[in-house]
A and B are shown apart, each in its own frame.
Chain A
């Protein structure tokens, strides 16, 4: 069956002209297109750039920070911002700029770990529930409902109370809290994609369930999940701050933005910079994740995508 082209239909000139565009431009992969469209959305582009800088700051924290995070200099305590200490110093004379830089690594690591965990587990649950339906759906989603019914902070505190405080356990606790969100978003998206003709068409040539799920259902159900990931990252950073604020997350003397905020609270009328700079770091990160999420949502919506791509060329 291979080879041996049928001459007749191939010879029809109308088909040749109307079909494949004759430009030699190689097709761009979809992710490149997505990036290109994202770059054309100024808000999202700025947000992505700032986030990249924050991530780079977290990665190269040791070499960027002017001094060690836990270097105590009692004689310099509670210094206002100055050329020597741009963000000022705290009650133990530690440089706040250094602690904000080093805290980025802690806060972001917990955030990414938590969301990665929630994404993998939640998306898997949502995928199975949405695709198989019936009792699989009932069992998994009722379990998600139970998890969802707990107030988020209470659930996280319960997990930390059982497993003890610490960065890893904080990430786990936040991750567990966000699993139902990802499960629901994924399931809803999968329910729509599952009925698409191309899924049925692929089944009609004998594709296995695994293949259908990984190649056809998941990639087409992905856009809302990606947006949810970006927004959840913002919430996870906030949640880490909240838990550290409560004393359950990062433990002193290690810096995390939330913990610094908590520690600065006692000095808020005396030395505003203790709470202000870590607060700003949280604010900026969360804002950028949210803006990026909004941008991604626009870019990944197929209908809007066509509009934007059409106007761009």
Chain B
């Protein structure tokens, strides 16, 4: 049977070149990069080459690139590290932290744990810039009145992991610089790197998070760009690796592989985006035509059908009336289509989506959400398979009354 893996936003297969690149570092070039001898220097050089490569792709200086264990660690280091600058714990002297309501939990939960503020999004998932301005002006007024310190951190993602909406980061940066000049601006670009020129999109940000396994690198490797002059307090102390911002022996093999995957992704991006966008459009248009009661989540109406330019090319998100995601995904799995609904918790249970709720999607529609996400290996045959099995599965579920 044909199978289709359409869950690339969860993770995408490693690039074979990246696998090849990492193997020597598991084997003969295994040394600890922090050591002083020649073998150690060899490992160190490999990390620094990788750092140069990734820095160039992100429009950063190599000394601004910090390797971490993944997107979640990068996001936590950014939020807690910027919020707690100079003090072990957040105090009243620190200003509030702010993020959009559709951030990944790796940003949202740290921000909420610091008593932070969230900014509304519109029905397409795009941040409401007026609301951002209101939040920043309110905080500035309280700071001017001496009631609180100014905003410490603003975090707005580059592209949403569930629905793929690209955020207007240049406008966000302009607002933050104008209304909260002392704030640090962080961007979680984990879902954006495959599909957008992250260097350009995040040029105004002080801190930028990436995760290697989303673009064909290995799991367990992340990047946090920390621009010169931005102070981040480390969360993890020890050997002082990564300029003291992230102690712990680096995953040399993973870092080397991440750089290879990043290079290939960036080099192939114009072609890949065009291909994926075509496949995504065929998928969405086909589903819209063949499944009654299927809605493209947060669609922007255009002159000739939905305008999807505001979304990353790889994400197709729909909500289906009178269908429950868990049941649908099981049916799809039996037909060898692997996809997801919203985010999953550690038990594997589905959770209701805070992203869809923030976009104002009705609860009964949210219950039937389906994310089909494309990646560098996606073939037309996989799209055909999805177009064949999704309508059939929905029909069977509806016939059964679920």
A and B interact: no
User: B residues touching A (Cβ–Cβ < 8 Å)?
Assistant: none
